[in-house]
Each structure stands twice: as structure tokens, then as C-alpha cells.
Structure 1
């Protein structure tokens, strides 16, 4: 086994889908699957055992243990050859899963959990982990197109290089084509150097489009050589990035983006494009941060 894939479960339908997706990821990677439930109740100092007037097999701890058992059974049914372990960790979900991410290759969560508020399209746990997780975070949304491509959102920023690596690796694992998509407008495209000093703001016809195509090819440079079996389609679209990626997600089996792009504001850990995809994409979304914090044990309850 080469590593660990972590999946957070809470008994919701969304987390059940996450377990199945995580089992498939673990199988493809030859990794161990760790099914984790954040057990909040001990920190609230409430009784964990069965009620004096209830059945002997009742109680909050027993419910949590049963939830984990059911999730493990679902994972085993999805990928029988994957080694599965379970962990009941005291703490609230955000802290527990962030700590688990420090020793994992990938953390998988559903888009919404049992604590989701009506009207919200994606839960706070998913957004928080995408912004703070120490490894790539896969948020399972709608059922993906099984035979669709892996779609990579490319903006050319140095921060997105890990996302490019992750997308190529996923495409290879899934034996899927990779669509590298870069969207641009006159407002977000960097201006080429003027050719005529008398017209510092003028660009020859087609100059911006050519510059954006060059940006895409440079962002992918070297990756194709490392993954020669991955068929890559370069796609440059003139239009809004969020709209282009959401539309591309309709036929994708996975969307991959960095946590922040070249238009990000200092201090924000999750960019507007990543957030939009977590809320509106039509397939699972993997968010890959540019840097990985210092490693820890990955099995604690928080920092």
C-alpha cells in the first residue's frame, strides 16, 4: 500500500456517495482507505451510553460506531480489494478532518452533511477543507459522467502547478483523457508588451488570444512528458472562467482546480472560481492547494 485516502462520514446521503468515491480512489492508488467520523458529543459533556429507559444497545457512541460500520461495509462493497480502516475521533468535523489531511494523499467529503442548512448548496466542512486541507480535497457533488474526461482549470499562476500535477495523475489513474481549459477575457488577460511605443495600449489583432494560448501551453510544459499515456486536449475559451468551467463540468468525471488563481486577493485561502465550482459544478471537484503545511501524524483531533 502506498498511502492513505481519508473519507469523512456523518451518515448523510452525501457522505455515502463520498465513501463510494473514496473507495474507488483508494483502489486506483493502491492505498488504504480510512473512514473517519468526528465524534463531537464527548466535548459537549453529554451522556454517551444507553439511556436508563432505552434499549441496552442504544446511546450516542453506539450510533457513531454503527455509522462507521455501515460506511466500511459500503466501501468494501464498492472496492472489495481495498484495505479499509475506521477511526472514531473526538472533535468537531472541521478540526478532525483537517488534522487527518496531514497524513493523507487525498481527503474525500460529501458536498453537504447532516448539519447542512436548507438552501445551502455546499456544506461548511467542504469549503473549509478546500481552503485549509494539507492535501488535495475531493468534494463529491452530482453523479459524474463515468466515461467523461478529467477537466483541469488552468490560469497560468505558479500557485496552480500542484493542481496540474494532480490532474495529470488522476487522468492516468482513471485512464481518462484530460481537458486543460483556460478561459480569458479582455479584463483578466495580461497585456502583451506594446510593439509600438506611440500606441502603448494597442494590441495587434489576435494578440491577446495568442498570448492566452501560449500561457496554457507553458502551464502544461513538462507534465505531458511525465504522463505520456494521458491524452490532452488544450482548450482556450474567451469568456468567464467560472461559467466556462461549470459548463465543462456537465460532461466531466472530475474537475480539478487550484485553491486560488492569479486574480486572487491576498489573505483569501479559497478563490472565487474554486468556491463557485464547489457550489455549482455538475461533477466531483478536487481542490489542490499550492503548498502543503508541515507534516504531522494525521491522526490527531486538531492543531
Structure 2
């Protein structure tokens, strides 16, 4: 029965496209690569490692600085980095099909393009700046709300594949969280762990106590937490033993001042945080 449920979760998860992970230089993307490899293995899809190659201002292919072609030097570094990260991925999932791609362009432009047709887009917290900057003013902010696939932010402190005892999902009662609820349910079933739905904040008492719509799959264990305390505090408390935290974009949007919860939680979470876009209209 568990095998059938896990299979259903993989099917409902949707896109059969690759799990795409942005890879910086100097081994700083290892945690994100390990997590992405496990995700690709569980989904039965390809893992694509992508490095966005940006040649420094004033340099261009063929131009030599003190006898060194900067572009070719960076290209060589990027290719070696991807080869190293492919080995890291295979250490997590030995039979995984891994693609390596160096694409010229800025990080946001490259990752947005790679998101088309992807199952999940994964970035780490190292190599793109501190997680606060990543989430508030950097790569993640430039992806969430701009791509139609889930965006996973994997802390550099994530050990192994980020496994934990539960999957936690925030629900603010808006249609923007519908995709997050279904994604979280699918991942909880695939991992065989309980799902905790958190409804918190000053308006929590106005939210329904009915079980949320989780789509076609339902975890064997489901808990709904209602609390009028600040949502970020409640979510952080519930996330301490979690392997995954899932958030929606919400009716007010990722950047809306009322929703600092998402940014604050991502800045302090020790496990991967996935932001899922709302369901697209039929």
C-alpha cells in the first residue's frame, strides 16, 4: 500500500522534467546538489547541474590578461566544478542520470530559462551570498513569482539529503497556498512521514478548522496546527524536526510587507524551504 501511495505521489507531482540545480564555484553548492539528487531519484527524473558563466566586465572571449584568456579560464573552472558536483550527486544516487551544462549569462536569466519545463529549481545558500540576501534581495527573490515551478532553497548546513521526521507546510487560507498544500502532501507521502499544516497569525481564528484540500494523495498522518501567535514563530517551532518546509506565494505575494513570514523563515530554517507557486487556472 505504501508503495502505491508513493507511486501516486510521484505521478501527481506533475512535471517529468529534470530537477535543475544552480551550481556556484568552489564546492559551495554541494549541499544543494545532494538534496537535488535525492529529489531527482525519488521522482525518477534527470538531474541537471547548471552553472551560469559570466565573464568579468572588460573581458571577452579571446582577450588575454597577462597572457591568460579569462573566459577560457572560467569556462574550465566551471566544467571541472560540474564534474565534481556530478560525483557528489552520484554519491547520493549512484544510478542517477546527471546532465552538466555551462550556460553563458547572468544567474537569474539562466535559471529562469532553465526553469521552463523543470520539475523543481534548486539553489543553495552559499555562492550566491548569505541566505538573508539570497531570499530578500538576490537569487531566490528573482526566481519566486517569476517561474512556474517550485523553488527550493537549501541551506549549506543541510546534512545528507535533508531528511527529517515531518513535512511542514504553511497555510494562510488563500488560494495562493493551494499549490503548496498539494506539493507538501505529495512529498510527505513519498517520504513516508507525517504532514503538519500550520495556520498561524492574528487571523488564524478566522481560518477553517476543516482538513485542507490536499489533492489526490493524503499522508497517513496529518496534523493541523492553529495558533494566533506570529506565523514565523509557529512555523519555526514546527520546523525544528522537519526535513522540509513548504510555503506558498500567498494571495498578497512573496514581497508583500504582511508576509515577512516567508522571508524570515527561509532566513533561519535549517532544512530546505520550498516555495510553490499557486495552482494555475485550468
What range describes the TM-score normalised by the shorter chain of this pair? 0.7 to 0.9
Match of 2:210 in 1: 217
Equivalent in 124, 129, 135 of residue 116 of structure 1: 129
1:143 lines up with 2:133 in the alignment: no
Q: Does 1:81 align with 2:95?
A: yes
Partners of 1:270 and 1:82 in 2: CA distance: 41
Please report how far the alpha carbon of residue 78 of structure 1 lies from its aligned counterpart in structure 2 after TM superposition: 1.3
Give 1:290's aligned residue.
278
Structure 1: state its 5+ residue gaps.
190-207, 294-303
Alignment gaps of 5+ in structure 2: 1-14
Give the total of aligned pairs: 261
SS of corresponding position for 2:163: coil
Contact kept, 8 Å, 2:52 with 2:106, in 1: the verdict is: yes
What corresponds to 1:233 in structure 2?
223
Contact 1:38 1:96 survives alignment (8 Å): yes
Matches of 1:274 and 1:216, distance apart in 2: 22
Q: Normalising by the residue count of structure 2, what TM-score does the alignment of the two structures yield?
A: 0.81
* Contact persistence 1:37–1:64 (CA under 8 A): yes
Contact 2:32 / 2:124 at 8 angstroms: preserved in 1?
yes
Larger Rg over CA atoms: 1
**What SS does structure 1 have at the residue aligned with 2:35?**
helix
- Distance between the aligned counterparts of 2:27 and 2:258, measured in 1? 26
Aligned positions of 1:173-212 closer than 5 A: 173-185=190-202, 188-189=203-204, 208=205, 211-212=206-207
Sort the Cα spacing of 1:257 and 1:270 in 2 relative to 1 into closer, same or farther, 3 A. Answer: farther
Distance 2:132 2:24 in 1: 19
What is the aligned partner in structure 1 of residue 188 from structure 2? Answer: 171
Q: Deviations over 1:83-112 (max 9, x none)?
A: 110111110111110111111010111023
CA distance in 1, matches of 2:192, 2:63: 48
SS in 2 for 1:253: strand
* Cα distance in 1, alignment partners of residues 197 and 131 from structure 2: 34
Q: TM-score w.r.t. structure 1 length? A: 0.76
1:39 maps to which residue? Answer: 53
Deviations 1:131-172 (A, max 9, x none): 322200110024266332000111110111011111011111
Give the 3 Å change call, closer, same or farther, for CA 172–74 of structure 1 in structure 2: same
1:257 aligns with 2:256: no
1:13-65 CA-partner distances (Å, limit 9, x unpaired): 5411100000000000001000000011188643468877569xx71211111
- 3-state secondary structure, aligned to 2:265: helix
Q: Displacement, 1:216?
A: 4.6
Aligned-residue offset at 1:265:
6.5
Deviation at 1:270, TM superposition (A): 10
Instruction: Tell me the secondary structure at the aligned position of residue 69 of structure 1.
Output: helix
Name 1:160's counterpart in structure 2: 177
| 1:281 paired residue number | 269
CA distance in 2, matches of 1:77, 1:49: 38
Partner of 2:227, secondary structure, is strand
Q: Aligned partners of 2:197 and 2:95: how far apart in 1?
A: 32
Cα distance in 1, alignment partners of residues 254 and 77 from structure 2: 43
- Aligned equivalent of 2:10: none
